[in-house]
Amino acid sequence: MVKERINKYLILAIVIIVGVTASFVSFYFSYRWERQELVRVLQNIAGQYYKYIKDAAEQDFFALESFRDFYAASDEVTRDEFAAFAKGILARQPYIYELGWVPLVPGSDRAIFESRALADGITNFTFKEMDAEGNIVPAKARSRYFPIYYIAHSSRNIKGLEEILGMDIAMLPDRLALIETAIDSGKALPVQNQKTYGALYEKDGFSISSRIFLPIYRNTMPLSTVQDRRNSFQGFVVLMYRIEDIMDLALKNMPIAGIDIAIYSNSPKEKKLLYSYVHPHRGNEKTKSTRRDEKKCKDCFSWSQILPIADSEWLITYQADLADFNHQKIVLPWILLFAGFIITILYVLYLANILNRTQVVEDLVHTRTGELKEANKEWAETFDAISDFIFILSKESRILKVNTSFLRALGLNEKDVVGKKCYEIVHKTGIPWGNCPHQQTIKDSKPHTEVVDDPGLGMSLLVTTSPIIDEKGVFFGSVHIARDITNIKKTQDELAKAKQDAEDQAWGLSKANEGIKLLYKELEEKNRELVRLGQLKSSFVSMVSHELRTPLTAIKEGIGIVLDGTTGPVTDEQKDFLDTAKRNVDRLSRLINNILDFQKLDAGKMKFDYQENNINLVAKEVYQTMEPLVKGKWLDFVLQLDESIPLVKFDKDKITQVLTNLVSNAMKFTLNGSVSIITTKGANTIQVTVKDTGPGVKQEDLDKLFQYFEQIGDIKQRRGGTGLGLAICKEIVAMHNGKIWVESQYGQGTSFHFVLPIVERRI
Amino acid sequence: MSKRILVIEDSAASTEIMTALLTEQGHKVKSASTGKEGILKAASDKPDIVVIDVMLPDMNGIEVCRKIRETLTNKETKIIMITAYIDAIDVVGAKKAGADDFSVKTEDMQNFKKALEKLV
C-alpha cells in the first residue's frame, strides 16, 4: 500500500517535472524564435534603410560623375554655365547640399585669374588662406592654387558665402598630398570636415559635413598615365552632402523604431563617427548624435554593414534593445509557458483524480479480493470437507484440482497429482479406462455415472462426472465425484445373494416337497401293502398258535397222566424221558404264549387292567415264586424294597410278567454271584431294577436287546429263549407310559431298570 | 430331438432302467458308475444332458455337478440331479452347484421323465 502510494506521488512528481520542463523548454525556444524573428524583422528594416542610404549615396555620386561629361563637352566652362548645370542637379538630388568648382590655377596666372573673377562679378575676390589663428589672410605665393571659385547651394542662402570664394583648399601640405593623389588616380576623394569650410558651416549649425572631390580632366588628351592626368587636370567638382539629410529623409520615408544607428567612416587609418541616431524609446528623449548608454541597453542586439561610398566605405552599425519589444512582441513564449503550466496543473489534477479513483478502486479491489479469498477459503474448506473424492479434470484428462479426501485415499500429495492425467494416477495406466465416465463426458458434454470397483483402493465407487461449460459455451472439463459405496454395494451384493439363496431354497424346498410327495405316495402304497401283509401274518400266527396250543395241551395232559402212574407203573427210565418231554412241552407252550402275547401286542389286541397296586408286593411275589429256582442255581437272591413307594396304577399281571421275565433272564445268564430286585422311588416315578453279576452285555449289543427275535451272543449262550421276552417287556412298559433300559459293563454284570409314572396319565 | 446324454449312476439297475427309457426316446446314452468317471466323460464328450445321482460311491453327486460346471463353462450342457432319498439341503446344494433340475427317483420314473421333457 505504502509503495503504491509512493508510486502514485512519484508519477505526479514526474508529470509535474516533465510539464514544467516542457513549458520552460517551449518558452525558451519560442522566446528564441520570437527574438530571432524580431531580429530578422529589424535586420530587414535595417537592410531597407541601408539600401536607401546606398541608393542616395550612389545617386549623389552618379550626379557628381555627370560633371565629367559636362566639362568634357566644352573647352571652357563659365560660372553661369556651371551654375545652371549645378542647379539642375541640386533640384534633382535632394541629398546634395552644395556643389562647387575648384579650378587648378598655376602660380603665374594668379593675377589674371583674380582679375577675371572680379570681372565676373565676384566682389573682393582674391586667393586666400587661413592662418594658424584661423584668420583669413591672402594666400602666399605658391606654384599652384586650388581656389574655390563657385558654390551652388541647394536651397539655402548662406551669408558670407563670398568669404570662402578664393580660399585655397590646398593650403595645408597634407591636404595637397591628398589632392595630388586624387589627381594622379583620377578617383573621387571623400573628405570630412574640411577646415576650409568649417568656420562657415559651423555658423550654419552644421557640425559634420562630407565632401567629395571629383577630379576633372580636359578630354582633349589621353588619360592613360599619371603624367597625362597631371597635364590635363582642370579642377575639382566639389560635392558636399550631409549624412543627417540623407538619414532624416530616409527616416522620414521609413520610420524606424527601436533601432539605433551609427555610421562610421571606415578608412584604414581611422574610424570616425559620422552620424548616429538613437530612436526615441522609453525614458530617453530623441537625442541625435548621442551614443546610447550601453549599460541601459537591457537586451542589446547589434549588427553592422559596410556601405561603399565613392572610393572609401562606411561602417553602419545597428543596435536594438530587444527588451523594448517585449511588451508587445514577446507574447507567445509567455503564453506557451503559462499554457504549459496550466496544462501541467490541470493534467496533474486530472491524474491525481484518476489516481485517487484508482486508489478507491484498488481499495475496493483489495476489499473484494479479501472477501474473495475468504469465500475461496470457505469454498476450499468445504471442498476438502466433502468425504466424496472430488477432482476437477481438464478436457485433456489432466487433474486441475483435488480435494483432501481423495488425496488421503490415494496417500498422495497435491503436487504429485495436479497436472497429471487422471488415469495415470487413478488406474495406473497410460491410456484412459474404457468405461470412464469422464471420457464419455468429453465426447458428449453430458453427465455420466458409473459404478467402478477399484481393486487398488479396495473400494466400490459411484463415479459421476459433470461437464464444466465456460461462459462461451465451450466444454472446459468435468467435475469428477467418486463416492465410496463399498458398504452399500456389499449390502446390495449380500441382499442379492440372500435373495438368490432364498430363491434357491424356495426352489429346493418346492422340489424337495414335490419329491417327498412322490416318495410319500409310494411309501403309502407300500405301507398299505405292509399292513395287509401284517394282518395276514397276525391272523396266521393267531391261528397257528391256537391250533398248536390245543394239541399241545392234549400232549401235556397225556404225559401228566402217564407220569402220575394212572395208566400203570412208570419206570425211572420212562420217567426221565417223560420229564424231558414234559419240560419241552412246557417250553413250547411258553413260546407259543409269548408269540401270542407278541401277536396281541402287535395287533393291539392285548387288554390291560390298570388298578392301584403296590409294586413292592409284586416284587415280593416274584421273589417268592422265583426263589427256589434262583437258589437252586446256588445264587444269592436279594430283595431290596423302598417302603416309601406309593400305590401306582398298573396292570399287575403284566408288570409281574415283566419282572418275572427280567429275573428269569438274570438267573439264566448268571453263573456265580447274585440276582437282586430293587425298588426305588424317583421324583415322579417308581423304579424297579433287576441286577445280576452275570457276563454282561457288549456296548454294541445293548440296543439289540429289546428288538424282536434278536438274541445276542453265540448259540451256546442262548438259553432256550424265544427272542421275544424283552421286546414284549418293552411293549408292556411302554403301554404304561413307562420306560425300560439296560446298563451293563461287559464282564461285570447287567442291570435292567424300568420306571412307571406315579401320576396317572390318560392313555 | 435326439440328445447326447450321460448318466452317472452307481446302481446298475437304475442305469439299466434309465438307459432303456432314454434310448427308447431316441437319445444317445452313455453311462458312468462313479463320480470321477462321470467328470472325465463329461469333459471329453461334452454331452447335451448329464444325469447325476446324488449318492455315488466315490463322491457326492452335487460335488460332481459342481466339477462338471467348472469344466463345461458354457450353459449349453444341462444337468439333472436324481435321488432316491429326498433332502431339501441336497436340492438347494444342487441348485447352487449349477444343476438345472432336481428329480426324485420313483419306481415308475415319471418325475424324471417330466424333468427331462422340460430340458429337451
d(CA A626, CA A662): 11
φ, ψ dihedrals at A653, nearest 5°: -65, -45
Residues of chain A whose C-beta is under 8 A from some C-beta in B?
501, 504-505, 507-509, 511-512, 514-516, 518-519, 522
In the numeric block, which cell numbers belong to residue A163?
568669404
Using CB atoms, pick whichever of B86, B90, B103 lies closest to residue A516.
Answer: B86
Residues of B in Cβ contact (< 8 Å) with A512: 86-88, 90-91, 102
What local confidence, expressed as pLDDT, does residue B6 receive? 93
Q: DSSP for A155-216?
A: S---TTHHHHTTBBTT-SHHHHHHHHHHHHH---EEEES-HHHHHHHHHTT----EEEEEEE
- Sole residue written with cell 497410460: A430
| Degrees to nearest 5, angle at CA B91 with B86 and B95 | 160
To the nearest whole Å, the CA of A511 is away from the closest chain B CA by 7
Instruction: Determine the residue among A500, A511, A517, A523 to mutate to test chain B binding: the one whose Cβ has the most chain B Cβ atoms within 10 Å.
Output: A511
- For chain B, percent helix, then strand, then coil, each to nearest 5? 45, 20, 30
d(CA B118, CA B120): 6
Q: Do A504 and B102 touch (CB under 8 A)?
A: no
Using CB atoms, pick whichever of B87, B95, B106 lies closest to residue A504.
Answer: B95
To the nearest whole Å, the CA of B99 is away from the closest chain A CA by 11
Tell me how many residue pairs between chain A and chain B have CB atoms under 8 A apart. 49
To the nearest whole Å, the CA of A495 is away from the closest chain B CA by 16
Using CB atoms, pick whichever of B90, B92, B111 lies closest to residue A518.
Answer: B111
Contact A192, A201 (CB under 8 A): no
Contact A691, A637 (CB under 8 A): no
Contact B32, B38 (CB under 8 A): yes
pLDDT tens column, A286-339: 444 344 454 466 677 788 888 887 667 788 888 877 776 665 556 778 888 888
d(CA A202, CA A188): 25
Q: Do B92 and A515 touch (CB under 8 A)?
A: no
Q: Do A507 and B95 touch (CB under 8 A)?
A: yes
What local confidence, expressed as pLDDT, does residue A291 receive? 47
Q: Do A514 and B111 touch (CB under 8 A)?
A: yes
Give me the mean pLDDT over the B96-119 stretch: 85
d(CA B115, CA B93): 18
- Sole residue written with cell 582679375: A115
Torsion of CA A269, A271, A275, A278, to 10 degrees: 180
Residues of A in Cβ contact (< 8 Å) with B96: 504
Q: Do A515 and B89 touch (CB under 8 A)?
A: no
Residues of A in Cβ contact (< 8 Å) with B92: 501, 504-505, 507-509
Q: Which residue of A has its CA nearest to B82?
A: A515
Residues of B in Cβ contact (< 8 Å) with A522: 106-107
Q: Which residues contact A287 (CB under 8 A, 6 or more apart)?
A: A278
pLDDT tens column, B28-80: 999 999 999 999 999 998 899 999 999 898 899 999 999 999 888 777 889 99
Buried b (16+ CB within 10 A) or exposed e, A565-600: eeeeebeeeeeeebeebbeebeeebebbebbbbbbb
Q: Which residue of B has its CA nearest to A521?
A: B106
Closest CA relative to residue A210, chosen from A77, A307, A103, A105 = A307
Q: Do A512 and B103 touch (CB under 8 A)?
A: no
| B7 confidence band (pLDDT: 50, 70, 90) | very high
Instruction: Determine the residue among B82, B104, B114 to mutate to test chain A binding: the one whose Cβ has the most chain A Cβ atoms within 10 Å.
Output: B104
Residues of A in Cβ contact (< 8 Å) with B89: 508
Residues of chain A with pLDDT under 70: 1-4, 154-162, 192-209, 220-221, 254-257, 267-270, 279-298, 310-311, 324-330, 709-722, 760-763
To the nearest whole Å, the CA of A521 is away from the closest chain B CA by 10
Q: Do A508 and B107 touch (CB under 8 A)?
A: no
Contact A191, A209 (CB under 8 A): no
Q: Which residue of B has its CA nearest to A514?
A: B104
Q: What is the CA radius of gyration of chain A?
A: 91
Contact A694, A670 (CB under 8 A): yes
Q: DSSP for A215-274?
A: EEE-TTS--SSHHHHHHHEEEEEEEEE-HHHHHHHHHHHS---SEEEEEEEE-SS-EEEE
What local confidence, expressed as pLDDT, does residue A2 receive? 64
d(CA A310, CA A159): 30
Instruction: Determine the residue among A518, A521, A522 to mutate to test chain B binding: the one whose Cβ has the most chain B Cβ atoms within 10 Å.
Output: A518
Q: Which residue of A has its CA nearest to B98?
A: A504
Q: Do A522 and B107 touch (CB under 8 A)?
A: yes
Residues of A in Cβ contact (< 8 Å) with B107: 522
Residues of A in Cβ contact (< 8 Å) with B104: 514-516, 518-519
Residues forming a β-bridge with A266: A271
Q: Which residue of A has its CA nearest to B103?
A: A515
Q: Which residue of B has its CA nearest to A518?
A: B106
To the nearest whole Å, the CA of B112 is away from the closest chain A CA by 10
d(CA A352, CA A567): 171
Residues of B in Cβ contact (< 8 Å) with A507: 91-92, 95
Q: Do B91 and A507 touch (CB under 8 A)?
A: yes
Count CA atoms within 13 Å of residue A685 on its CB side. Answer: 16
Q: Which residue of B has its CA nearest to A507?
A: B92
Q: Provide the 10 A C-beta neighbour count for residue A479.
A: 17
Using CB atoms, pick whichever of B88, B95, B106 lies closest to residue A522.
Answer: B106
Q: What is the three-class DSSP state of A637? A: strand
Residues of chain B whose C-beta is under 8 A from some C-beta in A?
83, 86-96, 101-104, 106-107, 111
Q: Which residue of A has its CA nearest to B108?
A: A522
What local confidence, expressed as pLDDT, does residue A326 receive? 62
d(CA A118, CA A352): 101
Using CB atoms, pick whichever of B93, B96, B104 lies closest to residue A515.
Answer: B104
Q: Do B92 and A514 touch (CB under 8 A)?
A: no
| Cα distance from N-terminal residue to C-terminal residue, chain A | 111
Q: Are strands A739-744 and A685-692 parallel, antiparallel or unpaired?
A: unpaired
Q: Which residue of B has its CA nearest to A523?
A: B106
ipTM, interface predicted TM-score of the complex: 0.81
Contact A389, A363 (CB under 8 A): no
